[in-house]
Amino acid sequence: MAFTKMNFFHWHITDAQSWPLEIPALPELSAKGAYTPDQVYSPEELAAVMQYGNNLGIETAIEIDMPGHTSSIWFSHPELITAFNAQPYSTYCAEPPCGSLKLNHSAVYSFLDTMFSDLFPRISEYSSYFDSGGDEVNVNAYLLDDTVKSNDTAILQPLMQTFIDHVHGKIRAAG
Protein backbone atom coordinates (compact mmCIF):
# COMPACT_ATOMS: atom_id res chain seq x y z
CA MET A 1 0.00 0.00 0.00
CA ALA A 2 2.74 2.45 0.93
CA PHE A 3 4.58 1.92 -2.36
CA THR A 4 1.44 2.85 -4.30
CA LYS A 5 0.70 5.85 -2.03
CA MET A 6 -2.39 4.30 -0.51
CA ASN A 7 -2.51 5.75 2.98
CA PHE A 8 -5.76 4.48 4.47
CA PHE A 9 -6.65 0.90 5.43
CA HIS A 10 -10.31 0.26 6.27
CA TRP A 11 -10.31 -2.94 8.31
CA HIS A 12 -13.72 -4.63 8.56
CA ILE A 13 -12.44 -6.67 11.48
CA THR A 14 -15.67 -8.42 12.57
CA ASP A 15 -18.65 -9.75 10.64
CA ALA A 16 -21.70 -11.99 10.77
CA GLN A 17 -19.67 -15.14 10.28
CA SER A 18 -16.86 -14.56 12.77
CA TRP A 19 -15.73 -12.33 15.64
CA PRO A 20 -11.93 -12.61 15.53
CA LEU A 21 -11.18 -9.47 17.56
CA GLU A 22 -10.21 -10.11 21.17
CA ILE A 23 -11.85 -7.64 23.54
CA PRO A 24 -10.27 -8.28 26.97
CA ALA A 25 -13.35 -6.90 28.77
CA LEU A 26 -15.50 -9.36 26.77
CA PRO A 27 -13.23 -12.37 26.16
CA GLU A 28 -16.18 -14.61 25.33
CA LEU A 29 -16.76 -12.74 22.04
CA SER A 30 -13.73 -14.15 20.25
CA ALA A 31 -13.59 -17.31 22.37
CA LYS A 32 -17.05 -18.36 21.15
CA GLY A 33 -17.49 -16.24 18.02
CA ALA A 34 -14.24 -16.69 16.06
CA TYR A 35 -13.92 -19.42 13.44
CA THR A 36 -11.26 -21.14 15.57
CA PRO A 37 -9.24 -20.15 18.65
CA ASP A 38 -6.13 -19.61 16.55
CA GLN A 39 -7.90 -17.26 14.13
CA VAL A 40 -8.13 -14.23 16.40
CA TYR A 41 -6.39 -10.89 16.71
CA SER A 42 -5.01 -10.34 20.20
CA PRO A 43 -4.73 -6.78 21.54
CA GLU A 44 -1.00 -6.98 20.85
CA GLU A 45 -1.55 -8.12 17.24
CA LEU A 46 -4.14 -5.39 16.65
CA ALA A 47 -1.71 -2.77 17.96
CA ALA A 48 1.15 -4.23 15.91
CA VAL A 49 -0.85 -4.07 12.65
CA MET A 50 -1.96 -0.52 13.34
CA GLN A 51 1.56 0.58 14.36
CA TYR A 52 3.09 -1.08 11.31
CA GLY A 53 0.67 0.83 9.09
CA ASN A 54 1.46 4.08 10.86
CA ASN A 55 5.18 3.48 10.37
CA LEU A 56 4.49 3.28 6.62
CA GLY A 57 2.18 6.31 6.59
CA ILE A 58 -1.00 4.21 6.47
CA GLU A 59 -3.80 4.99 8.89
CA THR A 60 -5.99 2.03 9.88
CA ALA A 61 -9.68 2.52 10.57
CA ILE A 62 -11.32 -0.35 12.43
CA GLU A 63 -14.89 -1.21 11.47
CA ILE A 64 -17.29 -3.14 13.65
CA ASP A 65 -20.47 -3.19 11.61
CA MET A 66 -23.65 -2.72 13.64
CA PRO A 67 -26.51 -3.23 14.26
CA GLY A 68 -26.56 -5.69 11.33
CA HIS A 69 -23.83 -8.22 10.51
CA THR A 70 -23.50 -9.04 14.20
CA SER A 71 -24.75 -12.62 14.35
CA SER A 72 -21.34 -13.82 15.59
CA ILE A 73 -22.17 -12.08 18.89
CA TRP A 74 -25.03 -14.58 19.33
CA PHE A 75 -22.59 -17.35 20.27
CA SER A 76 -21.63 -15.53 23.47
CA HIS A 77 -24.61 -13.19 24.00
CA PRO A 78 -27.77 -14.64 22.40
CA GLU A 79 -29.97 -12.24 24.37
CA LEU A 80 -28.58 -9.29 22.37
CA ILE A 81 -29.29 -10.66 18.88
CA THR A 82 -32.51 -10.92 16.90
CA ALA A 83 -33.20 -13.13 13.89
CA PHE A 84 -30.19 -15.35 14.46
CA ASN A 85 -29.84 -17.71 11.49
CA ALA A 86 -33.38 -16.86 10.37
CA GLN A 87 -34.52 -18.56 7.18
CA PRO A 88 -34.84 -17.88 4.37
CA TYR A 89 -31.88 -15.61 4.95
CA SER A 90 -32.74 -13.27 2.06
CA THR A 91 -35.88 -12.28 3.99
CA TYR A 92 -33.96 -11.24 7.12
CA CYS A 93 -30.42 -10.25 6.10
CA ALA A 94 -28.04 -9.55 3.23
CA GLU A 95 -25.92 -12.67 3.83
CA PRO A 96 -26.12 -15.65 6.16
CA PRO A 97 -26.10 -16.21 9.00
CA CYS A 98 -28.66 -13.57 9.86
CA GLY A 99 -28.49 -11.72 13.14
CA SER A 100 -28.73 -8.10 14.21
CA LEU A 101 -28.34 -6.33 17.51
CA LYS A 102 -31.70 -5.64 19.12
CA LEU A 103 -32.68 -1.99 18.86
CA ASN A 104 -34.72 -1.59 22.02
CA HIS A 105 -32.84 -3.65 24.61
CA SER A 106 -30.90 -1.84 27.36
CA ALA A 107 -28.40 -4.72 27.60
CA VAL A 108 -27.24 -3.92 24.04
CA TYR A 109 -26.17 -0.45 25.16
CA SER A 110 -24.36 -1.83 28.22
CA PHE A 111 -22.57 -4.34 25.98
CA LEU A 112 -21.53 -1.64 23.49
CA ASP A 113 -20.36 0.67 26.29
CA THR A 114 -18.17 -2.12 27.71
CA MET A 115 -16.77 -2.95 24.29
CA PHE A 116 -16.05 0.67 23.38
CA SER A 117 -14.50 1.45 26.78
CA ASP A 118 -12.07 -1.41 26.20
CA LEU A 119 -11.36 -0.89 22.50
CA PHE A 120 -11.24 2.86 21.93
CA PRO A 121 -8.36 3.68 24.29
CA ARG A 122 -6.29 0.92 22.65
CA ILE A 123 -6.82 2.11 19.06
CA SER A 124 -7.00 5.89 19.52
CA GLU A 125 -3.21 6.30 19.60
CA TYR A 126 -3.01 4.77 16.11
CA SER A 127 -6.04 6.22 14.36
CA SER A 128 -8.59 8.99 14.73
CA TYR A 129 -11.18 6.97 12.80
CA PHE A 130 -13.63 4.22 13.71
CA ASP A 131 -16.41 2.92 11.46
CA SER A 132 -19.64 1.66 13.00
CA GLY A 133 -21.05 0.42 9.70
CA GLY A 134 -24.83 0.66 9.76
CA ASP A 135 -25.45 -0.53 6.22
CA GLU A 136 -27.46 -3.51 5.04
CA VAL A 137 -29.89 -3.49 7.96
CA ASN A 138 -32.90 -5.58 7.00
CA VAL A 139 -36.05 -4.28 8.68
CA ASN A 140 -37.61 -7.76 8.66
CA ALA A 141 -35.12 -8.89 11.30
CA TYR A 142 -36.99 -6.68 13.75
CA LEU A 143 -40.20 -8.65 13.24
CA LEU A 144 -38.38 -11.33 15.28
CA ASP A 145 -37.00 -8.87 17.87
CA ASP A 146 -38.97 -9.38 21.08
CA THR A 147 -38.30 -5.74 22.01
CA VAL A 148 -39.72 -4.35 18.73
CA LYS A 149 -41.86 -6.94 16.83
CA SER A 150 -42.24 -4.70 13.79
CA ASN A 151 -40.70 -3.93 10.42
CA ASP A 152 -42.57 -0.63 10.12
CA THR A 153 -40.00 2.09 9.41
CA ALA A 154 -42.11 4.60 11.37
CA ILE A 155 -41.43 2.47 14.46
CA LEU A 156 -37.86 1.48 13.56
CA GLN A 157 -36.54 4.90 12.52
CA PRO A 158 -36.58 6.48 16.00
CA LEU A 159 -35.12 3.30 17.52
CA MET A 160 -32.37 3.24 14.90
CA GLN A 161 -31.71 6.95 15.45
CA THR A 162 -31.35 6.36 19.19
CA PHE A 163 -28.95 3.49 18.49
CA ILE A 164 -26.85 5.53 16.04
CA ASP A 165 -26.82 8.57 18.33
CA HIS A 166 -25.58 6.40 21.20
CA VAL A 167 -22.86 4.72 19.14
CA HIS A 168 -21.70 7.91 17.47
CA GLY A 169 -21.75 9.73 20.81
CA LYS A 170 -19.33 7.14 22.18
CA ILE A 171 -17.12 7.45 19.09
CA ARG A 172 -17.02 11.25 19.34
CA ALA A 173 -16.36 11.13 23.08
CA ALA A 174 -13.35 8.88 22.40
CA GLY A 175 -11.99 11.44 19.99
Active-site amino acid positions: 136
- What are phi and psi for residue 31, nearest 5 degrees? -65, -40
Give the residue among 170, 172, 95, 105 at the shortest CA–CA distance from 135: 95
Contact 104, 159 (CB under 8 A): yes
- What are phi and psi for residue 171, nearest 5 degrees? -65, -50
Give the residue among 86, 172, 91 at the shortest CA–CA distance from 132: 172
